[in-house]
Amino acid sequence: MNFPNAPQLRGMEAFPPPIKAVHRARIVNPQGPNDCDYHEDGGLAVRADGTVAAVGDFTLLAVAFADRYEVIDETKHGERPTIIPGMNDLHVHWVQNEVRGRFRNSLMPWLEEHIWPEEHRYADAQLADARAQTFFDELARHGTTVAAVYSSVHESALRAAFQHAAGRMVIGNVIMTSDFPPYLKQDPEEALAMTDRFAEEFGGSYAVTPRFAPSCSAEVLKAAGRIAKQRNVWVQTHLSENHDGTEHDEVELVRRLFPDAKSYTDVYARAGLLGRHTIMAHVIHASDEELDVLAQTGTCVAHCPTSNEALGSGRMPVERIRERGILYALGSDVGAGPSLSMLHVMQAYNRVHAGHADVSETEALYRGTLAGAEILGVDRVAGNLNRDKEATFAVLGSPGTRAYANPNHLLAEIFAGSQADLEAIVRKTYIAGRRVF
Ligand SMILES: [Zn+2]
């Protein structure tokens, strides 16, 4: 029978969605540069809406969530895999993926021989679409879920990238209005109009991307800065990568092209391109004064140690960047970097700075996960596996089944692998609870 005046069900919308699954594995969950939670036999409880309900020791979670969940026991293949948060690649040229690893020992000749002709091909919309699908599938296969991405000068390539990107990504078409090289040269007005249109259309997922100072005049840089400010979007470009004293010296080239500017950094400062929404790649040969300007303006840095090694660009002075509190996170810089694996980049981070600055495995992991999310302002929902964030993570095949008292020891064994090992170590990738690889 029907009861009159039966109370309606109220307040259910305030209940969190039910648990969908608990993943059982080792869990390494970075909290800061030198702060990392570790669970040797961990559980990651994921809600049906793709957020994290809890992370901790599996046995405790099993009691807390008894009979309400499916256990996905990642250990069942005779090893004990490791869950880490989805990784960040804060500097990657997606249109160079097919020619990665073909570097020569200097920036300018490499650009002319390998990069310009390759990027030129992305005018072909069909090619761009097929390559974008491949590239973003590969990012997922490497566990990369947060990225700042450079596209070519072409509208078709940018649209293809936005169509296939998965995760928290910022993407921009490069602006190239000077003769580097003539066949990629854009009409300044058209290039700026396109940039403005995209900034309006893609908002916070878009980055105004003057390729680097030599690609643009001071006027174009200034107009680009204005668009970024008006549209409240990101800025990304390159700063002080090569200073090898040869005829191809990039820093010297900038000095010649912008005789009024005090420094390479000052070229961007004058254009209004510095600030908290700006990610400068490399920053290897900057003076103290330039670093002070980056710090004062809140400008962030994408650090790409594998690329810097490959092109013989030098070592980013991490100790001077840290001293000033400049935010920085890791990037692959593919195609100068040889691999999309951010684990490979983390490995290099520890190697190149050892003896110059205090680095550790857990710090490398932080620079490749949470630090990138912090820079892009998405750390409230991404970057690590804390409760209520998106359950975005990679499952790594770990070495053996032995127990580790300290996550540094576990990560050290993982980082000891070769480039090929690190490229094959990701077994699964999830974005907001959904498996994408
Ligand atoms: Zn680059």
Give residue 356 CA to ligand 1 midpoint distance, Å.
Answer: 24
Q: How far apart are CA 255 and CA 257, in angstroms?
A: 6
Q: What is the pLDDT of residue 69?
A: 82
Q: What is the pLDDT of residue 6?
A: 65
Give residue 333 CA to ligand 1 midpoint distance, Å.
Answer: 5
Give residue 43 CA to ligand 1 midpoint distance, Å.
Answer: 38
Give residue 240 CA to ligand 1 midpoint distance, Å.
Answer: 11
401 CB-contact burial (10 Å; exposed 0-12 / middle 13-18 / buried 19+): exposed
Give residue 281 CA to ligand 1 midpoint distance, Å.
Answer: 7
Q: Is pLDDT above 70 for 364?
A: yes
Residues 243-264, mean pLDDT to the nearest whole number = 94
Strand residues in 58-131 grouped as ranges (E): 70-73, 82-85, 87-93
Q: Is pLDDT above 70 for 4?
A: no
Give residue 241 CA to ligand 1 midpoint distance, Å.
Answer: 9
Q: What is the pLDDT of residue 3?
A: 55
Tell me which architecture the domain covering 17-85+383-435 has in CATH. Answer: Roll (2.30)
For the segment 11-53, what is each residue's pLDDT rounded down to a tens digit? Answer: 555 566 788 899 999 999 999 999 999 999 999 999 999 999 9
Q: What is the pLDDT of residue 1?
A: 45
Q: Are the beta carbons of 153 and 184 closer than 8 angstroms? A: yes
Question: Per CATH, which fold does 87-340 belong to?
Answer: TIM Barrel (3.20.20)
Q: Which residues of 210-235 are buried (b: 16+ CB within 10 A; e: fewer)?
A: bbbbbbbeeebbebbbbbbeebebbb
> Is 0.85 surpassed by the pTM of this model?
yes
Which helix (H) or strand (E) element contains residue 107? helix 107-110
Lowest-confidence pick of 105-114, 135-144, 175-184, 218-227: 105-114
Lowest-confidence pick of 16-20, 167-171, 345-349: 16-20
Q: What percent of the chain has pLDDT over 70?
A: 95
Residues 183-210, mean pLDDT to the nearest whole number = 97
Lowest-confidence pick of 24-28, 76-80, 243-247: 76-80
Q: Where are the domains of the chain?
A: 17-85+383-435, 87-340
Q: What percent of the chain has pLDDT over 90?
A: 83
- Which residues have CB atoms below 5 A from the ion given as ligand 1? 333
